[in-house]
């Protein structure tokens, strides 16, 4: 009997894991996630596994319109490093992406980000650099901060602590997905110049760093087709010994 219910529970979790996705379209400003859903997402963060049970995170929930607007005025910008390294992850056709099984379609990015020297154009495009372009209509933002001084014991570069923050992210994301709340991770919030401005707006003390931020809401338009690819299990699994796979 316990096997049967275990199996159906797994089917549910497996389905949520596969369905979880990045919601990159603009959100409907008139539809806020219910407070109970936000609490469920925070509860998921609470129960995330962390190295040594350090619980090395705090979550700043931003749903005040004026504060969201102030964050929208922060300059995001794109660095040369980002554009060059992003280029390496891009596929320029669906066929290429499907055959690689990793990375992203170039059409998801502004054309200037799809060339190794695109950052030059980006720097000249003053308008483009503000967070407002991705933050617009975002009803709720959650910013996960952590204390780098409290690193996991004997963990070089706090590798274990940083992995723990990834567990927090995934727990939150799976619960958001299960509740039908759209979520997008926004790495730009941990860029040094953005972090500096956020400190002022949100009174984040100097000793805390921004691990990641996510915007939450419901799409304002039907999201277009979005090709999500993954490698087949056999392409990353090695039984009993590591064997280099072709490609
Ligand atoms: C640590 C981390 C940082 C990410 N940063 C961003 C980001 O800045 N913007 C974004 O749109 N997606 C971001 N993502 C989402 C990934 O691009 C996305 O999960 C991946 O392309 C797979 O797509 P899927 O989430 O739809 O399955 C990030 C994901 C992780 C785990």
Going by CA atoms, what residue is nearest to atom 30 of ligand 1? Answer: 185
What is the reported pLDDT for 247? 63
| Percent of the chain with pLDDT strictly greater than 70 | 92
239 part of a folded domain: no
The dihedral built from the CA positions of residue 100, 101, 106 and 109, taken in this order, carries a sign that is: negative
Task: Report d(CA 203, CA 5) in Å as an integer.
Answer: 47
pLDDT digits (tens, 9 = 90+) for 183-196: 999 999 999 999 99
37 part of a folded domain: yes
25 lines ligand 1 (CB under 6 A): no
Residue 210's contacts (CB-CB under 8 Å, 6 or more residues apart) are 143, 144, 145, 189, 190, 194, 195, 198, 204
Task: Report d(CA 39, CA 184) in Å as an integer.
Answer: 18
Binned at pLDDT 50, 70 and 90, residue 210 comes out as very high
pTM to 2 decimal places? 0.91
108 part of a folded domain: no
Query: Which atom of ligand 1 is the closest one to the Cα of 24?
Result: 11
For ligand 1, pick from 19, 187, 226 the residue to mutate: most ligand atoms within 8 Å of CB: 187
Q: How many domains does the chain have?
A: 1
The two tokens of residue 226 are 């979005």
pLDDT digits (tens, 9 = 90+) for 75-90: 887 777 777 888 889 9
* CATH number where 63 lies: 3.40.109.10
Given a cut of 70, whether residue 178 has pLDDT beyond it is: yes
124 part of a folded domain: no
What is the extent of the structural domain holding 159?
A: 22-75+137-227
Rounded mean pLDDT of 197-214?
97
Taking only Cα atoms into account, the Rg of the chain, rounded to an integer number of angstroms, comes to 20
9 part of a folded domain: no
């Amino acid at each position: 009997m316990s096997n049967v219910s275990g199996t159906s529970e797994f089917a549910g979790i497996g389905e949520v894991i596969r369905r979880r996705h990045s919601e990159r379209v603009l959100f409907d400003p008139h539809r806020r996630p219910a407070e109970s859903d936000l609490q469920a997402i925070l509860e998921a963060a609470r129960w995330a596994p962390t190295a040594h049970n350090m619980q090395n995170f705090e979550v700043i929930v931003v749903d005040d319109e004026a504060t969201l607007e102030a964050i929208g005025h922060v300059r995001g910008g794109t660095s040369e490093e980002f554009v060059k390294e992003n280029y390496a992850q891009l596929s320029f056709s669906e066929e290429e992406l499907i055959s690689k099984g990793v990375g992203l379609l170039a059409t998801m990015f502004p054309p200037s980000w799809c060339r190794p020297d695109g950052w030059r154009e980006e720097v000249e495009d003053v308008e483009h650099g503000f967070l407002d372009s991705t933050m617009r209509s975002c009803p709720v933002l959650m910013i996960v901060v952590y204390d780098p001084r409290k690193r996991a014991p004997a963990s070089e570069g706090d590798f274990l602590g940083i992995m723990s923050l990834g567990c927090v992210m995934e727990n939150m994301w799976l619960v958001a997905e299960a509740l039908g709340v759209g979520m997008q991770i926004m790495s730009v919030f941990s860029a040094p110049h953005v972090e500096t401005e956020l400190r002022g707006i949100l009174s984040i003390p100097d000793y805390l760093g921004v691990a990641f931020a996510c915007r939450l809401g419901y799409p304002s338009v039907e999201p277009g087709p979005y090709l999500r690819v993954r490698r087949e299990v056999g392409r990353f699994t090695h039984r009993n010994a590591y064997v280099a796979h072709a490609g």
